[in-house]
Amino acid sequence: MPKLSRIVPVLALLLALSLSLPAQTKLVLTLEESLRLAILQNPQVLAESAKEDQASSVVGQALANFFPKIDAQGTDILDKKVFSVLLPGFFPGMEPQRFEFDFTRKYQMTFNLSLPIYAGGRVQSGYRSAGYNLQATREGIRLIKQETVFNVKKAFYGYLLALQFRDVAQEAVALAENHLKTVKNMYDVGMAAKFDLLRTQVQRSNLQPQLIKARNALSLGEIGLKTLLGLDLDREIEVQGELAYKDVEANLDASLTQALTVRPEIVQLNFQKQMAAEMLKAAKGAYFPTVGVGGQYNVWGDKFRFSGDTWEDYYTISLVLSVPITNGLMNKAKIGESRAMLKQLEYGQKGLADMVRYEVQEAVLNLRQAKESLLSLEKNVEQAREAVRIAELNYAEGLATNLDVNAAQVALSQARTNFSQAQFDYAVALAQLEKAVGASSPAAAEK
């Protein structure tokens, strides 16, 4: 009994602590929140964004070529052979004498300075090329962000579509079950044939697999959305949004002009062309002489002290001129390589422009088609729902057959499915147009 009295308070304390721990709250995902999380956490976006630091470092390396370079070298001579000279005797009959001269100091320290003055424009071209590479890298980051924005919108709308399809399947099952109750009641009182009862039971059973399939599709849509957002697949989420209609009139000429101006692929290729042009200038600059200033300051001594006259020093300042004569046709080969790269980018630019025009035209046509389909189906759902209500009332009054009710229910499910699909198609077509013209705004998603 004493042991039990000690255990009970401990268990009570552990229970209280477990209840006080904050449970992981359900993450509410709107479209804006989904876009924000994707820009912050999507692995592809993070991997592409890391390239900016690398490109910035290359700019820093190119900038360093404008500044003087200073290095120091210190040596401690561990062993040496002394220079000796055999000198004739100073007086007649005197034997030649050998003298040793030690010109080497045990401790030596050298400071070297080099500063380029003119290098045929290669230093300037290298710096400008690095700058264009940084701008092209940033456009690549903007491209992957815009693609991620489109993919997140498509996944978000896809989840909402799967949610509506599940609701359609649940409603179809509920209608079939309610009608089965009606038929069974009428059969029990002799007002319905057994054939109607059996057919209704089969109809209800046939709808169950569709409901299971719709629920699985919803689960897959949730997993896909979490993956794009960089979320833990076990994290509980609640998606809030709707496939709302937003009337947009797409102007083909304006869309083409905007796309060819602001699409990240177009801007990126322009920077890459400028970078290739600077590389060509740098290759041509190898034919020009280089001029630089060099300096050297030397300190040496036989004893490592910081006082007295132990150390001796001297310095030199030089103006260095280097004139290239031949390097085995290497310069010509580099110029040819740079010209070929520039020509390749020019051809690629034309092909990219044609591809962008095609994507914009396709997006405009898809949006117009989706809009027409959506507007044509807008009233179908209410009409189909009313048809189900009338068919069920008529069947109860003996004015309609069981087949009429089943047909009306199938028509309602098809109408709801078609309308939801049309809403999804229009939302995705609008997102596709925004991506095609370069209007998807990752910056807005980051706020």
Residue with tokens 């007002």: 191
Q: What contacts 172, CB < 8 A, 6 or more positions away?
A: 207, 210, 211, 409, 412, 413
Residue 430 belongs to domain with CATH number: 1.20.1600.10
Q: How confident is the model at residue 443 (pLDDT cuts 50, 70, 90)?
A: very low
| Contact criterion met (CB below 8 Å) for 117 and 287 | no
Q: Percentage helix, strand, coil, to 5, in the chain?
A: 65, 15, 20
- The CA distance from 263 to 360, in Å, is 11
- What residues does 295 pair with on adjacent strands? 113, 317
- The CA distance from 438 to 268, in Å, is 13
pTM of the model: 0.79
Q: pLDDT (tens digit, 9 = 90+) per residue, 200-254?
A: 899 889 999 999 999 999 999 999 999 999 999 999 999 999 998 888 888 999 9
Q: How confident is the model at residue 440 (pLDDT cuts 50, 70, 90)?
A: low
95 vs 393, more confident: 393
Phi, psi of 135 (to 5 degrees): -65, -40
- What residues does 84 pair with on adjacent strands? 100
Instruction: Give Dmax over CA atoms of the chain in angstroms.
Output: 158
Instruction: Find, among 71, 73, 80, the residue nearest to 299 by Cα.
Output: 73
User: Sign (positive/negative) of CA torsion 186, 192, 196, 198?
Assistant: positive
- In this predicted structure, the answer to whether residue 19 has a pLDDT above a threshold of 60 is no
- The CA distance from 229 to 37, in Å, is 6
| Contact criterion met (CB below 8 Å) for 353 and 266 | yes
Is residue 166 classed exposed, middle or buried when 0-12, 13-18 and 19+ CB atoms within 10 A define those classes? Answer: buried
Residues in the chain: 447
Give the chain's domain count.
Answer: 1
- Within a domain: 379: yes
What is the per-residue pLDDT for 432? Answer: 94
Domain containing 149: what range? Answer: 28-69+121-287+330-446
Question: Residue 288 gets which letter from DSSP?
Answer: S
What is the per-residue pLDDT for 252? Answer: 92
Q: How confident is the model at residue 102 (pLDDT cuts 50, 70, 90)?
A: low
What is the per-residue pLDDT for 23? Answer: 52
Q: What is the mean pLDDT of residues 53-82?
A: 87
Task: Report the DSSP pairing between strands 27-29 and 97-101.
Answer: unpaired
- The CA distance from 95 to 161, in Å, is 113
Q: What is the mean pLDDT of residues 169-192?
A: 90
- Within a domain: 136: yes
- In this predicted structure, the answer to whether residue 327 has a pLDDT above a threshold of 90 is no
- Within a domain: 89: no
221 vs 19, more confident: 221
- What percent of the chain has a predicted confidence (pLDDT) above 70? 89
What is the per-residue pLDDT for 414? Answer: 93
102 vs 447, more confident: 102
Q: pLDDT (tens digit, 9 = 90+) per residue, 294-305?
A: 999 988 887 776
Q: pLDDT (tens digit, 9 = 90+) per residue, 353-372?
A: 999 999 999 999 999 999 99
Please give the structure tokens belonging to residue 341: 């790269």
- In this predicted structure, the answer to whether residue 338 has a pLDDT above a threshold of 70 is yes
Output the average pLDDT for the chain. 87
Least confident of 91-105, 211-225, 263-277: 91-105
Q: What is the mean pLDDT of residues 59-88?
A: 84
What is the per-residue pLDDT for 447? Answer: 41
| Contact criterion met (CB below 8 Å) for 111 and 284 | no
- Within a domain: 374: yes
Q: How confident is the model at residue 94 (pLDDT cuts 50, 70, 90)?
A: confident
- Within a domain: 212: yes
Is residue 89 classed exposed, middle or buried when 0-12, 13-18 and 19+ CB atoms within 10 A define those classes? Answer: exposed
Least confident of 144-158, 165-179, 310-324: 310-324
287 vs 16, more confident: 287
Which stretches of 84-193 are DSSP H helices? 122-188
Q: How confident is the model at residue 77 (pLDDT cuts 50, 70, 90)?
A: confident
320 Cα distance to chain centroid:
48
Residue with tokens 């499915």: 417
Q: What is the mean pLDDT of residues 65-77?
A: 89
Q: pLDDT (tens digit, 9 = 90+) per residue, 231-242?
A: 999 999 999 999
360 Cα distance to chain centroid:
22
354 Cα distance to chain centroid:
24
What is the per-residue pLDDT for 236? Answer: 93
Q: What distances in angstroms separate CA 267 from CA 138, 262, 264, 274, 277, one per listed residue? A: 10, 7, 5, 11, 16
Q: What contacts 232, CB < 8 A, 6 or more positions away?
A: 226
291 vs 311, more confident: 291
Q: pLDDT (tens digit, 9 = 90+) per residue, 276-289?
A: 999 998 888 888 89
- In this predicted structure, the answer to whether residue 16 has a pLDDT above a threshold of 70 is no
